[in-house]
Chain A
Amino acid sequence: MLFWEFFKVSLFGAGGGIVLAHRCAVERRRWLNEAEFGDVLTLCQFMPGPNVVGIAICVGAKTRGAAGALAAFVGFALIPATIGFILALLLLGQARAPIVQQTLHAISAAAAGLMIATGLRLLLRRHRRDLRALAIAMAAFAALALVKLPLLLVLAALAPLSVAATMVWRTKAS
């Protein structure tokens, strides 16, 4: 069941995976309640890796332990990735044609925009009035996109700084 649901979410969820995962896990099947889903989302967001796959694994682990996590992974990642890979190779066979080149190029441009907007939306939804959080996000953005530092360096520098800033700010507030 887990396998099948996440297989469906994955196949129909291009671009909006999180939204669909929420609908299926919380609203339809009631595997998790709203707060639990929010927690899973936060956890997956700051753990490394493909986020939506992480959500599938956490929901699987929650309902059926290790076996559930494995079923969700196979349904969500393994089989769709295999299908996608075959599709992609077929399309790439045509990649020399100018029209395919132009189309792919335009899609990349739009996809980059969607990625920017997703990050902005997550940030603004939760941290709109939080200057400390906005400053951290700006610093991370500038270090990676403008100064072009490697991610490992950015994380090593900013993660401790961000934790320290949060703790100082909390002690002041309380």
Chain B
Amino acid sequence: MNPLGRLTLFLALMSSISFGGIPPVLPDIRHFVVDAHGWLSEADFVNFFALAQTIPGPNMILMMALVGWKVAGIPGALAAAGATAIPPCVMYFVGYRLWDRFRDAPWQNVARASLAPLTFGLVVAGGTVMAQTVDTGWSGIAVTAAAAILLLVTRLNPMWMLGGAAALGALGLV
């Protein structure tokens, strides 16, 4: 199969199992496109991640569109974005209908109580893997830690953290 077909299938699989959002599958996607196939360099992957975070909108769909673009141009971007967005969206729609119908069923409470903490742990892990990829020195680790702490203890809009980091980076301090 050509690279575009393989990427599309892989992203469709990843988006279908991306419990807790796309971030938890980022490590797997990075491994697939950077290590296993060499379609992107490590630096490309990190750049796309940063861009997707700063540009408003659904940032993980955008990030995958950029990955697809790198692999196969505009058709690649369309296929990758579709593979990331469409399977989960169909599931959301069907899932919501079912969820609404069985609102008070006991299994729903068990599912809620057991799967929610699992997905939260996976989100933290996804961020950690991304930090391991990005932070090559102490200054990077400091920025990651500062952003995390600010979000946890203040009510600042996260754009301030991204903007502050951008300023530090532009000055060559990170």
Contacts and interface: CB of A to CB of B under 8 A. Distances in A.
Interface of A: 10-16, 39-40, 42-54, 57-58, 61-62, 66, 69, 73, 76-77, 80-81, 83-85, 87-89, 91-92, 95, 99, 101-123, 126-127, 130, 133-134, 136-145, 148, 150-152, 154-155, 158-159, 162-163, 165-167, 170
Which residue, of B58, B111, B145, has the highest number of chain A Cβ atoms within 10 A? B58
A69 B91 CA distance: 12
Interface string B86-98: 0111011101110
B54 A14 contact: yes
A61 B96 contact: yes
Which residue, of A45, A115, A122, A166, has the highest number of chain B Cβ atoms within 10 A? A115
Contacts of B56: 10-14, 80, 84
Q: How large is the interface on B (under 10, 10 to 19, 20 to 34, 35 or more residues)?
A: 35 or more
B28 A141 contact: no
Given A50-B58, A52-B58, A144 B117 contact: no
Which residue, of B23, B111, B127, B128, has the highest number of chain A Cβ atoms within 10 A? B127
Contacts of B18: 48-50, 151
Given A80-B56, A110-B147, A136-B118, A115 B123 contact: yes
27 contacts: A14-B55, A14-B57, A43-B96, A48-B19, A49-B16, A53-B61, A53-B92, A77-B57, A84-B55, A92-B66, A105-B140, A105-B174, A107-B50, A109-B143, A112-B134, A112-B135, A113-B131, A114-B161, A116-B144, A136-B121, A137-B117, A137-B118, A145-B128, A151-B27, A162-B115, A162-B118, A167-B110
A1 B52 CA distance: 27
B4 interface: no
A137 B122 CA distance: 7
Contact of B149 (A108, A117, A133): A117
Given A151-B27, A163-B114, A49 B88 contact: yes
Given A47-B95, A109-B147, A88 B134 contact: no
B21 A49 contact: yes
A53 to B, nearest CB: 5
A85 B158 CA distance: 21
A88 B170 CA distance: 18
